Structure 1
Amino acid sequence: MTRPSLVIFDCDGVLVDSETVSNRVLADNLARHGLRLSLADTMATFIGRSMVGVRDTALDMGAELPGDWIDLIYAETYAALRAGVEVIAGIPALLDRLDATGIPYCVASNGSAEKMDITLGQTGLAPRFDGRRWSAHELGVAKPDPGLFFHAAAAEGVAPPGCVVVEDSASGAEAAHRAGMRCLGYVPEGHPDRLSAWGATVIRRMDAVAAHIGLGPDQSV
């Protein structure tokens, strides 16, 4: 298998285990605004969307949201994330292997730079992505639009077919498909259909990535 020239990681749910925290805050917030969803339904409905997309979908579903709702939900979410998140199991070892083999990597997220400062900062991952973090908020283009991935690839001087994307959301898998990039869909549990429908190769553990990018099995396992 040909090794990629660049690995592009999503942030939430791929590098850091922040999706449960963020979506619990979202579910509680929406319940206060007339839309009651379980945590599982909230995650299934909103993971991978920009906050503008979350707002618009919630409104369509019957939520009554104030005009400054996006600012308010960000404040609530960031406060919860500052209380602590964990690194996704297997990520430090994977990054070590990429460093050792000279394969560059970056992060491209629909989340804000401030959110990445919080999550990557407190987990010690921030220095590993210094100068290689791309936010939809700053670039003005969000997944499933492929523009975020095109920007990340261009910044590293890599053509799209030379990239592998590691994603956990359908919108990210769709963006990778539209960008002409191979996608590894991280689905640690549950049904992977929403990612595999966009051509993603499903993985259940991060230590499986190495074998899928031509590095062989993770020797630390």
Structure 2
Amino acid sequence: MNFPPKMVLFDCDGVVVDSERVTNQVLRDDLAARGLDLPLDEIMHLFVGGVMAGVAVEAHKRGATIPDDWLETIYPKIYTALEHTVTTIPHIEAVLDALDAANIPYAIGSNGRLEKMDLTLGRTGLLARFKNRMYSGQDCAAPKPAPDVYLKAASDAGVDPGDCVVIEDSANGARAGLAANMYTFGFTHDTNPDALAPYCDALFDDMAKLPKLLGLDL
């Protein structure tokens, strides 16, 4: 991989917006009321980087009572919590500024719904920076860990996958970057490094370090 890259692809939750603990606290409380009472850290280990339909299946396997309309009830709870508490990951604006200064395009590839990205990026003032550059794995043939969402973003930008860098905070997301043949950084701000290391080319714990890792002049 030659640095700087020709494109940078970010996951959204836990990489651009600090939303993982908020979302998973809502899940923890909801699932506890349905018979699956687990600590928040275990909930995050199980579900970060997945899709909500997969959460329902896994929670049911582990003993939770999941009604047929659970997806329609859990999303509003999550969105309400995020609307009041979501913030940006520290220093992400500086990373985007550095990419803009270097004329390097960037996009978001997430397993979350586009409406969730609209909410979290809108509440944090970043929505305009990702206008027409947000991709959901739920709109692809397969979500992460399949590479589809990242390959779609690169294809739309006319950039070869091998010239792209992926920034991820989950094993599923890092596996997607790996499968897309993209250099993948694992962001360990809120993730156990051991969960990311097998699927990442490099790890880092502070977004302020990313411009230098990307080979950008500051």
Normalised-by-shorter TM-score class: over 0.9
Structure-2 separation of matches of 1:113 and 1:141 = 15
What is the CA distance between 1:84 and its match in structure 2? Answer: 2.6
Does structure 2 conserve the Cα–Cα contact (< 8 Å) formed by 1:149 and 1:179?
Answer: yes
Helix, strand or coil at the partner of 2:50:
coil
Gapped runs of 5+ residues in structure 2?
none
* Equivalent-residue separation in structure 1 for 2:139 and 2:128 (angstroms): 19
**Structure 1-normalised TM-score?**
0.95
Structure 1 window deviating more from structure 2 (108-117 vs 136-145): it is 136-145
Give SS of 2:166's match: strand
CA distance in 1, matches of 2:129, 2:141: 24
Give the 5 Å matches for 1:14-163. Answer: 14-163=15-164
Q: Deviations over 1:51-99 (max 9, x none)?
A: 1111111111111100011111111101111113111001000100000
Q: Tell me how far 1:190 sits from its aligned partner.
A: 5.7
Task: State the Cα deviation string for residues 9-66 of structure 1 (Å, max 9, x = none).
Answer: 0000000001111000000000111101111111111000011111111111111100
Question: Matched residues in 2 for 1:47 and 1:190: separation?
Answer: 9
Shift in Å, 1:127: 0.1
TM alignment of 1:197-208, pairs within 5 A: 197-208=198-209
Are the counterparts in 2 of residues 173 and 200 from structure 1 also a CA contact under 8 Å?
Answer: no
Aligned counterparts of 2:112 and 2:170: Cα–Cα separation in 1? 13
In structure 2, how many angstroms separate the alpha carbons of the residues matched to 1:21 and 1:191?
18
Distance (Å, rounded) in 1 between the aligned partners of 2:203 and 2:77: 32
- Consecutive unaligned residues of structure 1, counting only runs of 5 or more, are none
Once the two structures are superposed, residues 134-192 of structure 1 have per-residue CA deviations (whole angstroms, 9 ceiling, x without a partner) of 01223342100111111011011011101000010000000111111011111025630
**For 1:190 and 1:133, how far apart are their aligned partners in 2?**
23
The ranges of structure 1 where at least 4 consecutive aligned residues each deviate by more than 3 angstroms after the TM superposition are: none
Percent identity for Structure 1 against Structure 2: 44
Q: Which amino acid aligns with 2:136?
A: S
Cα distance 1:23–1:155, how it changes in 2: closer, same or farther (>3 A)? same
On the 8 A contact 2:174/2:184 being kept in 1, the answer is yes
1:114 offset after TM fit, Å?
0.8
Aligned partner of 2:26: which letter? V
Inter-partner Cα distance in structure 1 for 2:79 and 2:160:
35
Equivalents in 1 of 2:90, 2:36: separation in Å? 33
> How much has 1:215 moved relative to structure 2?
1.1
Q: Distance in 2 between matches of 1:123 and 1:199?
A: 28
Checking the alignment, whether the CA contact within 8 Å between 2:14 and 2:190 is kept in structure 1 is no
8 Å CA contact retained: 2:137, 2:148: no
Question: Amino acid of the residue matched to residue 41 of structure 2?
Answer: A
Which residue is equivalent to 1:215? 216
Please provide the CA RMSD for this pair. 1.2
Moved more, 182-191 or 205-214: 182-191
